[in-house]
Chains A and B, each alone.
Chain A
Amino acid sequence: MMRRSAAWSWLAGLVQRPAGIGSALFILLLLVVALLGPAVLPRHPLALGDQPMLPPGGAYFLGTDDLGRSVVAELILGVRVSLAVGIVAALATTVVGLLVGAIAGYVGGLIDTVLMRIAEFFQVMPTFILAVAIIALAGPGLTRVIAVIALLSWPQTARLARGEVLRVGQLDFIAAVRSLGIPEWRILLGEVIPNAIGPVIALGMLIVGYAILLEASLGYLGLSSPAIVSWGRMLSVGQRYLFSAWWLSVFPGLAILATVLAFNLLGDALADLLSPRSTT
């Protein structure tokens, strides 16, 4: 699998890209906040305060919402939802897409044609409308949201992975390995995929951002569980008070923008770093 020296050279390359390393550090910070989360807050984050709709400044740094809850506390809780959905959905998407793409590219022939036609079919469907329809009819739930995102976004990964596997499969060293009599599935898993995975991982970062945006959009349309605080849901509440309480909309949106931007920047830096053209 991945050799240590390769991992080090990735890291070294990332350090040379300020946007990449900056966004990686920011994401690390978000992960820490998500893990520690409520533990560092002075009181239970969803405790109802004495005064609803307090503007920022004063006792509550970013103000309070319509139920008197601290906006800061809600933002911190929201990190968990956004990161969990974004990362798990991207992971699932990448695994499915990588497997489908690798099989299509490596086996070729009829299987390749059929798999790529299915991918094309899924790519044509208006993902967001279908996701909303499914969640609206089946009911909210984070697992469901993750499943829907993975179900609808694997084709892009599959196409990329297929192209990479096709490219790597033609390289000389694969022929050399094959002449040693190693079974095909082990060549695919042990040699081809590890050498084809770079751009797929970079795309995975962009999918994290996309998944966070999609989850937020669902929350904004009121399609998230009322029991869970998420940034999208906060914006849905904010919409009702747009004329009286701007802080209910401004801060959760900034949080989404910063988080998604960080993943997109990291994805771009990784793509730059891991694309075959730049490494050889």
Chain B
Amino acid sequence: MARYIGARLTWAAAMVLGIAIVAFLITHLLPGNPVDALVGDFPAPPEYVSKVRHLFGLDQPLPVQLWLYLVNMARGNLGFSFLSRQPVLSLVLARAGTTLLLMVPSLILASLIGVAMAVRAAASHGRMLDSALTAVSLIGYSIPVFWLGQILVVIFAVNLGWLPAEGIRSLREPGSGIGAVLDFLRHFALPAFCITVYYLAVVARVARSSMVEMLHQDFVLTARAKGLSERAVLWRHVLRNGLIPVITVIGYNFGYSLTGAILTETVFAWPGLGELFVTAIANRDYPVLSGIFLLAAIAVVLANLATDLLYAAVDPRVRIAAGGRA
């Protein structure tokens, strides 16, 4: 097990280094000059431009800049926003919590619904529920998540007036105590629904095929032969073993779910990473863009690492088979 963990950690560290290099390259190799963004559109005297270039180390050779970038990164310095002059790391971290507040409950909800549907579909051998699962998955994969958000706003906010269209709390009457919680939930409902649908597509597809596969395994036959009730076979044996691929897919799709969150936040003006990202795009705020990419990619690497370790802990075959990659 120790050897397996060591191999996974080394690989994760190599990935982070590679990702840092990509984040550096997208800001330094692509057309569009950071100095232009800094100096602005106003025609600046050449001396001033070269002064700015020197100040930010942009006159150094590329490998030297890369080294400085990596050293700064190791110290937790991801540069400063061109727009607000705030440190990128604190800008991103300040928003990450709000995004997770939206993402995590939606992911849990999607996983529970998806797995429950899959187990019941596997149990009933039923066409209905099975078709429903396939349909949910197909539509979830095909629908633009931001458009789903727009439609929900048109129906529930504009026409019915039941729920607010944007933000995370009411500006006029945020309320206090239980009122504030209810106010938050009202703002939370629509964007959370979008992300749940978006994510249910992934979970439903994997859970369905995993549960069906488990039903045909020998241990299910054994469990039935022992005289266990069908319910016990399903919820104890099939579910437990069928969950492993589902957990893997949830862990491995962290980047995918982050994408859904960013697009959904944009529709509902949810003040999380998505909003920071869109503002950075509009203002060509290089350091913030590459900072968000870097931290998101590191989060994905960590999520994958956690998934691998969890997987190895649950399934001994993985760690025995693996010197390196399972």
Contacts and interface: CB of A to CB of B under 8 A. Distances in A.
B18 interface: yes
Nearest to A130: B293
Interface size class of B (residues with CB under 8 A): 35 or more
B290 A124 contact: no
A208 to B, nearest CB: 11
B281 A223 contact: yes
A121 B15 contact: yes
Contacts, number: 133
A129 to B, nearest CB: 5
Contact of B282 (A129, A222, A239, A246): A222
Contact of B19 (A125, A127, A238): A125
A221 B266 contact: yes
Contacts of B282: 222
B141 to A, nearest CB: 6
Contacts of A138: 30-32
Interface stretch (B74-82, B172-180, B229-237, B294-302): B294-302
Interface residues of A, number: 42
Contacts of A133: 26, 289-290, 292-293
B301 A257 contact: no
A139 to B, nearest CB: 7
Interface in B281-326: 281-282, 284, 286, 289-290, 292-293, 296-297, 300-301, 304, 325
Interface string B83-115: 000000000000000000000000000000000
Contacts of B297: 124-126, 129-130
B151 interface: yes
A120 B301 CA distance: 11
Contacts of A239: 150, 267
Interface in A170-191: none
A16 to B, nearest CB: 18
Contacts of A106: none
Contact of A246 (B142, B158, B262): B158
Nearest to A243: B158
Contacts of B4: none
Contacts of A250: 151, 154
Contact of B142 (A124, A127, A129, A261): A261
A252 B280 CA distance: 26
B27 A261 contact: no
Given A222-B282, A242-B165, A261 B150 contact: no
A256 B255 contact: no
Interface stretch (A83-91, A159-167, A209-217): A209-217
B277 interface: yes
Given A121-B15, A121-B18, A126 B259 contact: yes
A223 B277 CA distance: 13
Given A126-B300, A137-B286, A261 B138 contact: yes
Contacts of B67: none
Q: Is the interface of B mostly helix, strand, loop or mixed?
A: helix
Interface string B1-28: 0000000000000010011001000110
A125 B296 CA distance: 8
Contacts of B30: 134, 137-138
Contacts of B163: none
Interface string B126-146: 000000000000110111101
Contacts of A127: 255, 259
Contacts of B144: 213, 216-217, 220, 232, 235, 253, 256-257, 260
Contact of A235 (B22, B150, B281, B304): B150
B147 A253 contact: yes
Contact of A130 (B26, B146, B325): B26
A64 interface: no
A217 B263 contact: yes
B258 A126 contact: yes
A238 B151 CA distance: 11
A150 B139 CA distance: 24
Interface in A101-130: 120-121, 124-130
Given A125-B255, A249-B154, A209 B142 contact: yes
A253 B258 CA distance: 21
Among B15, B31, B144, chain A packs the most CB atoms within 10 A around the CB of B144
Nearest to A118: B18
A21 interface: no
Given A246-B158, A264-B138, A136 B304 contact: no
Interface in B233-284: 255, 258-259, 262-263, 266-267, 277-278, 280-282, 284
21 contacts: A121-B18, A127-B255, A128-B255, A128-B262, A129-B255, A129-B297, A130-B26, A133-B289, A133-B293, A209-B142, A216-B144, A217-B263, A220-B266, A223-B281, A239-B150, A239-B267, A242-B150, A242-B165, A257-B139, A260-B142, A261-B139
Interface of B: 15, 18-19, 22, 26-27, 30-32, 138-139, 141-144, 146-148, 150-151, 153-154, 158, 165, 255, 258-259, 262-263, 266-267, 277-278, 280-282, 284, 286, 289-290, 292-293, 296-297, 300-301, 304, 325
